[in-house]
């Protein structure tokens, strides 16, 4: 038996935890290491994280108006369609399905399995090998299993997904604040704190030669601006997925009020956590370090083992036990993050299917009032990406495309204000038109910077979007 109506059972707290939980995955524990190599300055690292938070909160404030106008399942897909038409909205949905949502789900699942392997090292071994071309590890199998389990739970009712989201997101937020507090308290009198903050603005790019020699190239003026624009993609990726709550608008109580509020408070909470976490890293670990050192403190932020700067900070605090503690925290963080991503993504495909732009079966709700078939279609493709080994590349390509669609969506506010001036808007974008314009200008500048400094990544992002054009016309012809 199927139902034709989604179940509105999520309140303000649930929506806020979906925003925060979908944002906090594994990125905050890793990407600062790469950012340090790109710009080499504690001051500029904090500026990039603060700018990322500012941009994200600006976007959330602007999205609130669209969410209040269109409290329907599908969120951003619906907003783009209303402002720019079916073709453009399909390209967004296509990119979300092929790489943005499913790619993130795959990457987060693999991160979960990778940190589980800290406790069970045998997970790193190869489970299946076919002619030397296909190698599947036990960790990849665990990653797929975690996606299947979360899909199964969410297919049996939105309340099940809500429980997981509340428990895991609350746990990781509390744990992060505890680690930040302890880190700042212990690090206040450390040598790393004095070293990193006495010369905060000496920016430079660090590379390591094949012989192990560390090279530091100072950055100034235009080169510094370019480096900042290129490295912000890592912090933006770590802060992405905040818009997922708009996908499940059809299951949120009083969505006109609760979605705008949850977007603002969820992004604000995560911004505060991310900035404070990086302050804690800089108080505990030297930004520069020795790539040959075996000690976490000696390797510093730049050369943390496998870029796991969060683990390095925990080891400084708690010794070898800190590594296990951080692995457990990242397991909790990634599992809860994927629950929110899996829950939300399927609702976008559900909305696409109802418009004839996705598999027809994805428009069906099961007896628990959830689009179970959309959930399982998402599960299958995310599992393929886990096996492909290409999910990391897909994430880089899709981040650029994701930024383009954020710009387009916020530009839709201006379009709809002109096209539909009399439409009821229970919430109006704060600071309109100044704040939305600031967001569009800042994010547009970042996209231009990426086209200049990372043309391969940005170009492939555009290519993935453009691949959706012939697919759209094929579906249009089929529907006609």
CA–CA distance, 129 with 402 (Å, rounded to integer): 35
Dihedral sign from CA coordinates of 218, 224, 226, 232? positive
Asked whether the predicted pLDDT for residue 2 surpasses 60, the reply is: no
Task: Give phi and psi for 419, each to the nearest 5.
Answer: -75, -35
Count CB atoms within 10 A of the CB of residue 180: 21
Q: Are 263 and 37 in contact (CB under 8 A)?
A: no
What one-character-per-residue DSSP string does 72-85 give?
Answer: STTTHHHHHHHHH-
pLDDT tier for residue 350 given thresholds of 50, 70 and 90: very high
HSE-up (13 A, CA, CB side) for residue 342: 40
CA–CA distance, 151 with 145 (Å, rounded to integer): 10
**Helix intervals (H) in 156-218:** 158-187, 191-198
Task: Quote the pLDDT of residue 453.
Answer: 85
Question: For the chain, what's the residue count?
Answer: 480
Q: Are 300 and 195 in contact (CB under 8 A)?
A: no
Task: Kindly report, residue by residue over 205-225, the tens digit of the pLDDT.
Answer: 998 887 778 888 999 888 999
Q: Are 347 and 93 in contact (CB under 8 A)?
A: no
Helix, coil or strand: residue 435? helix
Residue 368's Cβ-count burial label (10 Å; 0-12, 13-18, 19+) is middle
Asked whether the predicted pLDDT for residue 1 surpasses 60, the reply is: no
- Residue 417: both structure tokens together: 């204000």
Asked whether the predicted pLDDT for residue 38 surpasses 50, the reply is: yes
Q: Residue 112's closest CA among 382, 399, 397?
A: 382
Average pLDDT for residues 98-122, to the nearest whole number?
91
Average pLDDT for residues 405-424, to the nearest whole number?
95
Helix, coil or strand: residue 217? strand
Helix, coil or strand: residue 11? coil
Dihedral sign from CA coordinates of 36, 41, 45, 46? positive
Task: Kindly report, residue by residue over 352-374, the tens digit of the pLDDT.
Answer: 999 889 999 999 999 999 999 99
Task: Kindly report, residue by residue over 390-405, the tens digit of the pLDDT.
Answer: 656 666 777 888 999 9
Task: Quote the pLDDT of residue 458.
Answer: 86
CA–CA distance, 17 with 263 (Å, rounded to integer): 10
Task: Kindly report, residue by residue over 286-319, the tens digit of the pLDDT.
Answer: 999 888 898 999 999 999 988 889 999 999 999 9
Q: Under CATH, what is the fold of the domain 12-207+216-479?
A: Amino acid/polyamine transporter I (1.20.1740)
- Residue 104: both structure tokens together: 């993130």
Asked whether the predicted pLDDT for residue 72 surpasses 90, the reply is: no
Average pLDDT for residues 12-23, to the nearest whole number?
94
Share of the chain residues as helix, strand and coil, in percent rounded to the nearest 5? 75, 5, 20
Task: Quote the pLDDT of residue 341.
Answer: 95
> Domain locations in the chain?
12-207+216-479
Radius of gyration, CA atoms only, the chain: 22
Task: Kindly report, residue by residue over 423-464, the tens digit of the pLDDT.
Answer: 999 889 989 999 999 999 999 999 998 888 888 888 888 998
CA–CA distance, 380 with 154 (Å, rounded to integer): 15
């Amino acid at each position: 038996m199927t139902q034709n109506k989604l179940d509105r059972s999520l309140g303000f707290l649930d929506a806020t935890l979906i925003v925060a939980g979908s944002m906090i995955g594994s990125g905050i524990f890793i990407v600062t290491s790469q950012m340090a190599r790109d710009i080499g300055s504690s001051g500029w690292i904090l500026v990039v994280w603060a700018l990322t938070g500012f941009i994200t909160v600006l976007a959330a404030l602007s999205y609130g108006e669209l969410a209040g106008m269109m409290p329907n399942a599908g969120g951003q897909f619906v907003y783009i369609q209303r402002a720019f038409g079916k073709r453009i909205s399909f390209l967004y949905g296509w990119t979300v399905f092929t790489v943005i949502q499913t790619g993130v789900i795959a990457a987060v699942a693999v991160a979960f399995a990778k940190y589980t392997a800290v406790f069970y090292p045998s997970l790193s071994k190869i489970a299946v090998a076919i002619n030397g071309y296909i190698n599947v590890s036990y960790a990849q199998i665990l990653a797929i299993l975690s996606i299947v389990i979360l899909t199964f739970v969410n297919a049996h009712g939105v309340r099940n997904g809500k429980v997981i989201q509340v428990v895991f997101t609350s746990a990781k937020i509390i744990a992060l604040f505890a680690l930040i507090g302890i880190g700042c308290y212990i690090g206040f009198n450390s040598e790393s704190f004095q070293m990193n903050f006495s010369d905060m603005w000496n920016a430079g790019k660090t590379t390591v030669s094949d012989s192990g020699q560390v090279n530091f190239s100072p950055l100034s003026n235009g080169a510094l601006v370019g480096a900042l624009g290129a490295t912000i993609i890592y912090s933006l990726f770590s802060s992405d997925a905040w818009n997922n709550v708009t996908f499940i608008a059809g299951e949120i109580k009083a969505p006109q009020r609760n979605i705008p509020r949850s977007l603002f408070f969820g992004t604000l909470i995560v911004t505060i956590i991310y900035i404070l976490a990086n302050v804690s890293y800089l108080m505990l670990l030297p930004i520069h370090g020795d790539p040959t050192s075996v000690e976490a403190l000696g390797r510093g932020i730049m050369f943390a083992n496998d870029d796991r700067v969060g683990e390095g900070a925990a080891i400084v605090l708690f010794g070898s036990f800190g590594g296990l503690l951080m692995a457990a925290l990242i397991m909790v963080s990634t599992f809860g993050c994927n629950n929110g991503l899996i829950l939300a993504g399927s609702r976008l495909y559900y909305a696409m299917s109802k418009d004839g732009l996705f598999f027809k079966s994805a428009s069906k709700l099961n007896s628990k009032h959830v689009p179970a078939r959309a959930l399982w279609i998402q599960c299958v493709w995310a599992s393929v990406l886990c096996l492909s080994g290409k999910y990391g590349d897909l994430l880089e390509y899709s981040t650029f495309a994701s930024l383009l669609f954020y710009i387009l969506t916020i530009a839709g506010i201006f379009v709809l204000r002109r096209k539909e001036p009399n439409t009821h808007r229970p919430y109006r974008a704060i600071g309109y038109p100044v704040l939305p314009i600031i967001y569009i200008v800042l994010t547009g500048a970042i996209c231009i910077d990426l086209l200049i400094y990372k043309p391969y990544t940005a170009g492939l992002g555009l290519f993935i979007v453009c691949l959706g054009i012939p697919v759209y016309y094929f579906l249009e012809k089929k529907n006609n």
